[in-house]
Amino acid sequence: MIHQEKRFNCGVTQLFAMLTEAEKFEAFTDSKAEIDASGGGKFSLFGGMISGLTIELVADQYLVQAWRAGNWEPGIYSIAKFDFKVISPTETALTFDHSGYPAESEDHLAEGWNQQYWGPMKKYLETQD
């Protein structure tokens, strides 16, 4: 399992929206996204390289997705869980757990979350002041 804990200099609502609203996701990734964040809603990220379903969410608290990379065998999904915690009005902690992916993908995925999500999110937030 991949377990990562990150802190972001923004309110929880803004951070949650960056992962659940296509326009906001596209803003920090500079890539095409389609996101239906309702329970059972589909998403397609990075121009279709990542896809899946939203399993469950409570706004500003947690998000659980059935998540898959486009190069995985058909029918293979992992579980990505994002837990949000308010530190202050301008700081949010994110606890991320990713499980159920093909074992050979672990190193690539762990680095990918940092390079494609957390790093670009932090950089984008720095420009929003």
Q: Which ranges of 4-94 would DSSP assign to H, the alpha helix?
A: 12-20, 22-29
- The residue extents of the domains of the chain are 2-126
Per-residue model confidence (pLDDT) at position 129: 61
Residue-level pLDDT, tens digit, the chain, 129 residues: 999 999 999 999 999 999 999 999 999 999 999 999 999 999 999 999 999 999 999 999 999 999 999 999 999 999 999 999 999 999 999 999 999 999 999 999 999 999 999 999 999 999 986
Residue 90 near residue 11 (C-beta atoms within 8 A): yes
The reported pTM is: 0.95
Domain 2-126 of CATH type 3.30.530.20: yes
Residues 51/70, Cβ–Cβ less than 8 Å:
yes
